[in-house]
A and B are shown apart, each in its own frame.
Chain A
Amino acid sequence: MATLEILYFAWVRDGIGKDGERIESPLPETTVEGLIDSLVARGGGYAEALGDRKRLRAALDQRFVPLHTSIGSAKELALFPPVTGG
């Protein structure tokens, strides 16, 4: 079974209550926001942390992508707030 590793950072991780999880790979045409919708549907911390799409950013296989990007054959998806380094 192909799997997708999902990683959470900063307040997204705080809200969900874990660093990440491994799920069964979604269909390749599934977009990042489509997957976020399915996570929000779990309710609880997921709905709270991922509910406001405007405050979320994503990376697929360690590259920033817009939320409408298809997941394709990516192995790793990271969800996080806008970065605040430097």
Chain B
Amino acid sequence: MSVVASVRAEDFDTAAELAALEAMGGGGVASFTGIVRGGDGLVSLHLDHYPAMTQAQVERICADAMARWSLLGIRIVHRTGTLLPGDRIVFVGTASAHRTAALESCAFLIDWLKSHAPFWKKERFKDGRETWVEAKAEDDAKAAEWG
């Protein structure tokens, strides 16, 4: 079992992340890549986080996934700082002997990251407005569905 969780400002190489998962000897790899969505005059997105807690919380979420599914490995990268439309924000990848465990655990991990990891997004717009993104009730509901 291999869990690699990284919280950092630097970008990540999606192909390299997938290659690491593919090399774990399983029969299936699933992944999710989150991208900064443009539109509505968005200029940039700033990701604030609670450094002392973020890494620990991401590791707890991974341990939870490992306990629920038979996995060979998990790789998570969550970026912080200022990002532009089209930039990658987050990568979640899982490797397993079979596809169901890989696909389900990947969906579980991104749902839990959204509602249980201490990150906050602030949007900056062309007209100079800056607003903190409001949490969505549907994100909490999605995470709660996993029990």
Spell out A's residues near B (CB within 8 Å): 7, 9-11, 14, 59, 62-64, 76, 78, 80-86
Contacts and interface: CB of A to CB of B under 8 A. Distances in A.
A10 B80 CA distance: 13
Interface of B: 34, 47-50, 52-53, 56-57, 78, 89-90, 110, 113-122, 132-135, 139-140
Contacts of B90: 85-86
A15 B25 CA distance: 50
A7 B49 CA distance: 11
Most buried by A among B47, B53, B139: B53
B49 A84 contact: no
B120 A81 contact: yes
A83 B135 contact: yes
A84 B120 contact: yes
6 contacts: A59-B50, A62-B57, A85-B47, A85-B114, A86-B89, A86-B113
A86 B120 CA distance: 9
B49 A85 contact: yes
Contacts of B115: 83
A59 B120 CA distance: 15
Contacts of B140: 82
Given A10-B122, A81-B135, A83-B117, 13 more contacts: A9-B50, A9-B118, A10-B120, A59-B50, A63-B53, A78-B118, A81-B132, A82-B134, A83-B118, A85-B113, A86-B78, A86-B90, A86-B139
Most buried by A among B47, B114, B132: B132
A64 B50 CA distance: 12
